[in-house]
Structure 1
Amino acid sequence: MSNRSAIIAIIILAAHALFTHFFSEHFSKAPLKEPINLTDSVNSTFEIYIPMEQTYEINLLFDRKELDFEYLKSVLGNMTNNDENGMPLNVVWSLYKEDSLVKSNSLIALNSCGWSQAQVYRCLGKIKVPSGKYKFSINVNNPSREFANFTSYISINYNFKNAHTWQTSYMFLGMLFNIFIAPFIGGIILLILIVRYIRHLTSA
């Protein structure tokens, strides 16, 4: 490998790492995560962009903060016990493409469907549509003061573990390449260049 080829190879590795970063940022960005006030009636519309045809989950998110676990279960529900469903919310949401209705759902949102260290999730449904610009509207007509203790969000996002598109496959494989393979290849190339430089100095 000539010095010129080695430098080009390093540039390609660096360019690929940069491309993968921006590619992942674009396709992993949540189409929607906006604060929502559930202590008042909600009638909101959001313009969103769906980056790829993927199954997206529509959720209400509640920051746990340092609230007592039993209180969280009493308001938001205990996903392991159907007798503790939490406080219900009457929710209607709709997804529009331009002026055409794509999908809608009307439900009484009960219980939690997921817990993390930072948030509790309440599921409102799923969508799978072609990529593009959409409008998402949500209505909640039975607010409760109990939700004043939470910072709440309406979210549309996908679970990377359950994703099965070429974009998510590339993000995963590209990440592995950039973490494990690219540094190894780049290290060998740099080592070759250093050895050549040292030999050049000693032979001069």
Structure 2
Amino acid sequence: MPSPAHVLSVNVGRGVERPYASGPVTAIDKRPVDGIDVRDPGPKHGGLGSGVVGDTVGDTRHHGGVTQAVYAYPREDQQWWEERIGRPIEPGGFGENLTTVGVEATHALVGELWTIGDVVLRVEAPRIPCATFAGHMGERRWVKRFTDAGRTGAYLSVVTPGRIEAGAPIVVERPDHDIDLLLAFRAFMGDLGAARRVVDAGVLHPTEQQPLERSLLRRDA
């Protein structure tokens, strides 16, 4: 029996052309596989793209790289959305590489470590909804609805590479601060108070911290 906190499904997407794609192709429609190999993909620009071997990143300007190596979304939050949109969401349906059970994502702390077998992942940033996500979902006002709900899922970096398979237990190690992904999400979406708290805490990876700092400087000028 899997542990209460575990990987329900591992998912990979192949690039396909879609009218709503923000890049040449999109791989947001991911499908379950038996296992995935994860590694640090390097920088967003000039790196390997996804941290999941064989997973396509269609819009390399906005996606992929160290802090977006792996995307995880809780099955519990998908079920919450199913009730509101009136249709099922299959594992991988939110573009996630890991569909999880029993792991908090909205209130995961920046810098939190997830150990999955020999693999160690680090919680880095929330998902920011985009036009590609909205087009994939086909729901009216999707970006606003997703933003208002704040059930963002978790982007993770790869600390220790390796293989992740469905059913693997997840062991969580939380850092000693209170900056969670929901607060970071509100900061990235323009909440000035949240942005100041997050920047002052200094817990974000530099690739996430620096744009937020520049945004604050522009607003304070």
With the length of structure 1 as denominator, give the TM-score of the two structures.
Answer: 0.25
- Name the structure, 1 or 2, with higher relative contact order (CA <8 Å, separation 6+): 1
Larger strand share, 1 or 2 = 1
Larger helix share, 1 or 2 = 1
The structure number with the bigger radius of gyration is: 1
With the length of structure 2 as denominator, give the TM-score of the two structures.
Answer: 0.24
